[in-house]
Amino acid sequence: QVQLVESGGGLVQAGGSLRLACAASGRTLGMYHVAWYRQAPGKEREFVAIINKGSSWTSFADSVKGRFAISRDNAKNTVNLQMNSLKPEDTAVYYCGASVVGFRESDIGYWGQGTQVTVSS
């Protein structure tokens, strides 16, 4: 099975950028669809972005379209989430998840522990 560890979170001012990384061990991350989700205090976890196994397809939540990008670094066995033009409402714990089959949250079999992103106004 695969183990996932997120990194790159932190405190940034509105309008700034952060790059999150989801690093895998145990298996090649290219074998999985990989998604990013986030959970703000008092709210349910919500979908942010996803990239399929072959990196031929990506999808984003409407709230982050045009600001966030998702990509794979196969040499490092990571999936990255580049976040630009950050807003205070992007503040949340960000989680990466991997699925073998399917693109729904319920299809994700492996989750990382999360990384905190805080955007100040």
pLDDT, tens digit (0-9, with 9 covering 90-100), for 109-118 = 999 999 999 9
Alpha-carbon separation of residue 107 from 49, 53, 63, 71, 98 (angstroms):
15, 14, 22, 20, 8
pLDDT, tens digit (0-9, with 9 covering 90-100), for 22-47: 999 999 999 999 999 999 999 999 99
Per DSSP bridges, beta strands 78-83 and 3-7 are: unpaired
Q: Are the beta carbons of 111 and 22 closer than 8 angstroms? A: no
Q: Which residue has the tokens 């074998």?
A: 31
Percent of the chain with pLDDT over 70: 100
Mean pLDDT of the chain: 97
Query: What is the number of helices (H) and of strands (E) in the chain?
Result: 0, 11
